[in-house]
């Protein structure tokens, strides 16, 4: 799993190109520098050679990694100064091997956890085996990391085979985030007519669409729930995580809704830091002190960027659930059959995200950049 090369045989057909190179121009109209931001071009527009038989070079001649995604895009990290352009050259040739820093799979050996990671953080969504056990855990879980290399396989194996708990930091991070019967670290849920959260339970089935080296993508489908008189509402999620990003991109849609509804991405608020949240314009953030705040666990910074939401709010739980006392929510109107897109993720004070101000500024800038996306042109 250390390195990954593109398979020479792909299912795509590419038109032969009379020249031996092409240019990709990436334009940044925003007031922010955009370092190593993942951009995408249609694979069919790169006619120099098939994926795995061309290289992408920056203006200094440095080779950049790239990936062919499930939806036939070529993605690569572009760095563009504010208000400027960057030109990348595509030439025929064998690309260098790529360190695989983005990875995920289902872990049936751990109650069907769907877990994935990049070089920043790791996450998991709970699966059917956990639901069958009766354990109530609804939202996304967050695993901290302070190393860029993959850690999931090692943590699950050591916890299972050698009883070395992943709830303890052994020098690479740990699982000290409490989810329970809450939305956890950024899960979206429908709201009933009174504004109450209709919690999704565990995913029913899944399909992994991309698995590194630069992007992980998984489709999760959930079992039926009842909302506002509709008794067979099915949720679909498409989650992707890129190398270098603190946030997952997630598309949510529902079948079985007979009328418009409201939904809201949410972050659980714990009693250890009841006032530690920020409700910003287009984003919300929380500094989670972890289950045992006096144990040197550091702080887990959780965030949601939701440009479509109508505003953010705090909603107290009717009764505390363990240490959970409420949620911060970003409600949005949802039309049946549509797709809602938002972003969620985390950073760790012992893993590259020093403090709440830095985290909040990252989320604010990310939200602003969504309004001025990088423009990509293939020549």
Chain centroid, CA 4 distance in Å:
21
Which pLDDT score, from 0 to 100, does residue 310 have? 87
Which pLDDT score, from 0 to 100, does residue 337 have? 87
Yes or no: say if 214 and 242 are a contact pair by the CB < 8 Å rule.
yes
Which pLDDT score, from 0 to 100, does residue 10 have? 32
Residue 203 vs residues 107, 111, 153, 162: alpha-carbon distances, Å: 13, 12, 21, 28
Is residue 135 over pLDDT 80? yes
Which pLDDT score, from 0 to 100, does residue 13 have? 30
pTM score:
0.93
Nearest to 139 by CA among 341, 351, 327: 327
> pLDDT of 102-115, one tens digit each?
999 999 999 999 99
Yes or no: say if 252 and 232 are a contact pair by the CB < 8 Å rule.
no
Give the max Cα distance, the chain: 68
Which pLDDT score, from 0 to 100, does residue 377 have? 97
Which pLDDT score, from 0 to 100, does residue 295 have? 86
DSSP states along 94-149:
PPPPEE---EEEEEGGGTTEEEEE-SS-EEEE--HHHHHHT----SBEEE--SSSS
What integer best gives the mean pLDDT of the chain?
93
Which pLDDT score, from 0 to 100, does residue 18 have? 40
> pLDDT of 334-350, one tens digit each?
998 899 999 999 999 99
Which single residue is written with the structure tokens 């009842």? 226
> pLDDT of 142-169, one tens digit each?
999 999 999 999 999 999 999 999 999 9
Which pLDDT score, from 0 to 100, does residue 231 have? 94
Residues of the chain above pLDDT 90, percent:
92
Is residue 3 over pLDDT 90? no
- Cα separation, 345 vs 303, whole angstroms: 6
Which pLDDT score, from 0 to 100, does residue 19 have? 56
Q: What's the DSSP call for residue 294?
A: G
Is residue 292 over pLDDT 90? no
- Cα separation, 107 vs 117, whole angstroms: 13
Half-sphere exposure of 82 (CA within 13 A, CB side): 7
Is residue 122 over pLDDT 70? yes
Beta partners for residue 184, in sequence order? 140
**Who's near 238: CB < 8 A, 6+ residues apart?**
217, 218, 219, 250, 251
Which single residue is written with the structure tokens 């797709």? 339
Q: How confident is the model at residue 315 (pLDDT cuts 50, 70, 90)?
A: very high
Is residue 12 over pLDDT 60? no
End-to-end CA distance of the chain: 34
- Segment 206-233 shows an average pLDDT of 97
> pLDDT of 42-98, one tens digit each?
999 999 999 999 999 999 999 999 999 999 999 999 999 999 999 999 999 999 999
Residue 27 vs residues 24, 33, 325, 369: alpha-carbon distances, Å: 10, 11, 44, 13
Residues of the chain above pLDDT 70, percent:
95
- Cα separation, 191 vs 54, whole angstroms: 48
- Segment 307-327 shows an average pLDDT of 95
Which pLDDT score, from 0 to 100, does residue 1 have? 43
**Who's near 210: CB < 8 A, 6+ residues apart?**
67, 69, 70, 216, 217, 240
């Amino acid at each position: 799993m250390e390195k990954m090369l593109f398979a020479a045989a792909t299912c795509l057909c590419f038109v032969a190109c009379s020249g031996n190179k092409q240019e990709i121009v990436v334009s940044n109209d925003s007031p922010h520098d955009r370092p190593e931001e993942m951009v995408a071009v249609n694979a069919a527009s790169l006619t120099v050679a098939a994926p795995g038989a061309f290289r992408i070079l920056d203006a200094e001649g440095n080779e950049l990694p790239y990936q062919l995604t499930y939806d036939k895009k070529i993605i690569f990290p572009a760095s563009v100064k504010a208000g400027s352009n960057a030109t990348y050259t595509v030439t025929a040739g064998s690309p260098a091997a790529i360190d695989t820093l983005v990875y995920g799979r289902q872990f049936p050996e751990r109650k069907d956890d769907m877990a994935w990671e990049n070089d920043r953080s790791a996450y998991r969504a709970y699966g059917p085996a956990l639901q069958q056990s009766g354990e109530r855990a609804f939202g996304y879980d967050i695993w901290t990391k302070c190393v860029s290399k993959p850690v999931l396989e090692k943590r699950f194996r050591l916890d299972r085979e050698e009883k070395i708990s992943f709830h303890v930091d052994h020098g690479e991070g740990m699982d000290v985030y409490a989810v329970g019967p809450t939305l956890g670290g950024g899960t979206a849920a429908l709201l009933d007519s009174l504004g109450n959260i209709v919690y999704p339970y565990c995913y029913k089935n899944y399909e992994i669409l991309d698995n590194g080296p630069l992007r992980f993508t998984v489709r999760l489908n959930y079992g039926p729930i009842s909302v506002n008189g509709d008794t067979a509402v099915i949720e679909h999620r498409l989650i992707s995580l890129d190398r270098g990003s603190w946030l997952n991109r997630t598309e949510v849609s529902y079948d079985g809704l007979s009328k418009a509804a409201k939904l809201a991405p949410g972050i659980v608020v714990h009693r250890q830091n009841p006032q530690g949240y920020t409700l910003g314009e287009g984003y919300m953030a929380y500094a989670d002190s972890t289950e045992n705040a006096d144990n040197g666990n550091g702080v887990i910074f959780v965030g949601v960027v939701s440009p479509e939401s109508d505003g953010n709010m705090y909603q107290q739980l009717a009764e505390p659930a363990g240490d959970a006392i409420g949620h911060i929510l970003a409600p949005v109107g949802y039309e049946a059959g549509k797709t809602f897109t938002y972003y969620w993720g985390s950073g760790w004070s012992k893993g590259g995200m020093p403090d709440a101000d830095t985290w909040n500024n990252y989320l604010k800038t990310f939200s602003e950049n969504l309004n001025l996306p990088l423009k990509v042109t293939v020549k």
